[in-house]
Structure 1
Amino acid sequence: MEYVKTYTVKEEHIDVQNIMDGLYYPFYLEYCRHDYIREALGFDFEAEARAGNNMVLSEYRIRFVRSLRSGDTFQVTCSPLRDKTNKAVLHFRQTILLNNKVVVKAVFSGTCVRATGGRPFLPEELVLKLADAPEWDGEL
């Protein structure tokens, strides 16, 4: 179930050390994750928000292994993971790879909440689509 997108570092994301500023890595992870959620899972963020259902992050962990530089073309991966406690949480294991070497490892966790309030939930269609996804073991 791994989803992969390719990006190129933008010059405006480079800091004074001539490497990509740490602030931008989560953005590339988000671009890939959102595309995966929309394209592979069929969850339309805009339509769901208009219907009063918002997908939100509840937590994330990132480990930086090496840096990207201006003009680097890199891949971002995204794989879904179920929560082993069956809470209304989805986890996404993600990596940034440069020349097949790990740059960043991350896990992003999220859920859905109604705009009117109430308990977090996962839409049944997402639960069904991810029934065969592995459980998250808590590791990056």
Structure 2
Amino acid sequence: MEYIKEYTVKPEHIDVQEIMDGLYYPFYMEYCRHDFIKDVLGFSLEEEAKKGVNMVLSQYTIQFVRSLKKGDTFTVTCELFADKSEKPQIHFQQKIMMNNKVITKAVFTGTCVPATGGRPFLPEGIKEKLKSAPVLEA
């Protein structure tokens, strides 16, 4: 299932070259991913943190294809993928799109850890959602 949110480049995210600074692309992806986690996975980052469960990123890869400019309106997508090795981690494949063209694409990998320390794990609710998710092959 592809989850989509729309955003507009903020003027303060523009650099001296009149394009969006590369550091902000992952932020827009994070906004979308956090909404996806809450809306689709039913996992509230804030509520779970209060219960001692932190969802964290373990890695990400990002590819910049085109640049965004001040005032551009674009969409960010998010899709859930299961781990090929069955490790306790989840993958979010994301894209920033504008005018049906890929601007940026990335894969974010995350897991949950106890706030007090301990081994990575996935809550049962997320494991259940992963059963119907495709496996990330790349």
* TM tier relative to shorter chain: over 0.9
Aligned residues: 138
Give % identity.
Answer: 65
Query: Quick check: 1:108 aligned with 2:108?
Result: yes
CA-based RMSD of the aligned residues comes to: 0.5
CA distance in 2, matches of 1:129, 1:65: 31
> Could you tell me the TM-score, scaled by structure 2's length?
0.99
Moved over 2 A (4+): none
Determine helix, strand or coil for the equivalent of 2:85.
coil
Query: Structure 2: any 5+ residue segments left out of the alignment?
Result: none
CA distance in 2, matches of 1:117, 1:13: 35
Name 2:35's counterpart in structure 1. 35
Letter in 2 for 1:62: I
Name 2:63's counterpart in structure 1. 63
Query: Structure 1: any 5+ residue segments left out of the alignment?
Result: none
Deviations 1:10-69 (A, max 9, x none): 000000000000010000000000000001111011110011000000000000000000
Name 2:133's counterpart in structure 1. 133
CA distance in 2, matches of 1:116, 1:20: 38
Cα shift at 1:116 = 1.3
Name 2:124's counterpart in structure 1. 124
Cα shift at 1:118 = 1.1
> Could you tell me the TM-score, scaled by structure 1's length?
0.97
Letter in 1 for 2:69: R
